[in-house]
């Protein structure tokens, strides 16, 4: 999906937002009381956020 130009600090906000999602998921994943479904959901969310962060970082560097 191509990115539209982002104005002002919105780009930095998007990058920081993805970092917060990753951090939050990594804090929750070690919990022993997660159901397999919740663990899979957190892993999928973390993986999606990491992929999005990689795309945003690449676009920012371009």
pLDDT tens digits along 20-30: 999 999 999 99
For residue 15, the surrounding DSSP H or E stretch is helix 10-28
Local confidence band at 60 (pLDDT 50, 70, 90 cut-offs): confident
**Structural domain boundaries in the chain:** 35-62
pLDDT in tens, 15-53: 999 999 999 999 999 999 999 999 999 999 999 999 999
- Whole-structure pTM value: 0.83
Per-residue pLDDT at 24: 98
Q: How many CB atoms lie within 10 A of CB 51?
A: 11
Q: Residue 6 above 80 pLDDT?
A: no
The helix-helix angle for 10-28 and 36-61 (nearest 10°) equals 150
């Amino acid at each position: 999906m191509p990115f539209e130009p982002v104005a002002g600090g919105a780009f930095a906000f998007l990058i920081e937002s993805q970092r917060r999602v990753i951090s939050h998921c990594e804090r929750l994943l070690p919990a022993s009381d997660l159901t397999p479904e919740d663990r899979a959901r957190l892993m999928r969310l973390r993986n999606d956020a990491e992929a999005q962060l990689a795309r945003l970082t690449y676009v920012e560097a371009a």
